[in-house]
């Protein structure tokens, strides 16, 4: 074996070790962030809920915004559990990175044609079980909906909102146009008063970068076909 071959082999081993270390650091950082948010939620439960009607005085319509953490929300152990996450258009990046991120929408209870209750603090990465159809978690009925089934790294916090609806607490994403307004507000201090309370809440949550979480993907369905994966790759 030549010196050049030995040098290349060492370089490859070193690069792999460095990647593994970086991966572990990423996982640890993500879990610590989610744990901090979870602890905050559990503390907030004692403060109760504040409910306001966006259409106050309109008897034919109600749209409630609820602040706070309901007392029914509880932390559960994810050890040994396979979870499911229904996927939209982001399947390629999820498979490439083996991670999920928070979306824009918080937990919502719908009463079609009359009202909805938006729990603005219940935000994060929504999870369910492999036995739960998409319509049970507020998505359109679809017997071939794309999904990933996965387990979580040790220490990842999970809370149960109601049976079959769980989430990893996190910082929500924002639409691109709203991020632009927020960043302009931070740079100039100017903002339409309509957005001020929202942007103060964004500040309290730590900014506009959403929460990401690494997972061990077991299998996934895409375009009606199920694929098995090596969860330890």
- What residues form DSSP beta bridges with 117? 64, 109
Q: CA 18, 21, 27, 31 torsion: positive or negative?
A: negative
Q: Name the nearest CA neighbour of 79 among 171, 213, 226, 216.
A: 216
Instruction: Tell me the per-residue pLDDT of 117-169, one tens digit each, with 9 for 90 and over.
Output: 899 999 999 999 999 999 999 899 999 999 999 999 999 999 999 999 999 99
Query: What is the C-alpha separation between 58 and 133, in angstroms, rounded?
Result: 35
Distance between start and end Cα atoms, the chain: 29
Backbone angles phi, psi at 42, to 5 degrees: -65, -35
Neighbouring CB atoms inside 10 A of 136's CB total: 14
Q: How far apart are CA 186 and CA 196, in angstroms?
A: 11
Model pLDDT for residues 189-215, shown as the tens digit of each residue: 888 888 888 888 888 888 888 999 999
* 3-class SS letters over 34-49: HHHHHHHHHHHHHHCC
**Could you give the angle at which helices 193-205 and 176-188 cross, rounded to 10 degrees?**
90
pLDDT reading at 81 higher than 90: yes
- Summarised one tens digit per residue, pLDDT across range 48-64 is 999 888 765 555 556 88
Report, in angstroms and rounded to the nearest whole number, the Rg of the chain calculated over CA atoms.
21
Number of residues that this document lists for the chain: 233
Looking at residue 14, its pLDDT comes to: 40
Mean pLDDT of the residues in the chain: 86
Reported as a pLDDT band with limits 50, 70 and 90, residue 231 is low
- The share of the chain scoring above pLDDT 90, in percent, equals 57
CA nearest to 69, candidates 139, 208, 178, 167: 167
| E strand map for 24-133 | 50-53, 62-67, 74-76, 83-86, 99-101, 107-111, 115-119, 124-127
């Amino acid at each position: 074996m030549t010196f050049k071959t030995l040098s290349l082999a060492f370089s490859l081993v070193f690069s792999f070790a460095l990647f593994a270390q970086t991966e572990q650091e990423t996982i640890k950082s993500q879990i610590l962030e989610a744990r901090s948010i979870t602890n905050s939620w559990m503390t907030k439960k004692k403060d109760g809920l504040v409910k306001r009607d966006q259409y106050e005085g309109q008897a034919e319509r109600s749209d409630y915004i609820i602040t706070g953490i309901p007392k029914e929300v509880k932390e559960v152990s994810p050890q040994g559990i396979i979870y499911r996450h229904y996927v939209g258009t982001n399947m390629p990046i999820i498979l490439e990175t083996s991670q999920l991120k928070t979306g824009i929408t918080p937990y919502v209870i719908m009463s079609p044609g009359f009202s909805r209750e938006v729990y603005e603090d219940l935000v994060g990465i929504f999870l369910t079980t492999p036995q739960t159809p998409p319509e049970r978690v507020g998505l359109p009925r679809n017997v071939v909906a794309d999904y990933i089934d996965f387990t979580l790294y040790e220490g990842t916090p999970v809370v149960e909102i109601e049976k079959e609806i769980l989430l990893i607490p996190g910082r929500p994403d924002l639409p691109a146009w709203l991020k632009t307004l927020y960043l302009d507000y931070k740079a100039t201090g100017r903002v339409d008063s309509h957005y001020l309370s929202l942007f103060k809440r964004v500040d309290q949550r730590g900014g506009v970068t959403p929460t990401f979480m690494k997972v061990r993907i077991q299998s996934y369905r895409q375009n009606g076909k199920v694929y098995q994966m090596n969860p330890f790759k």
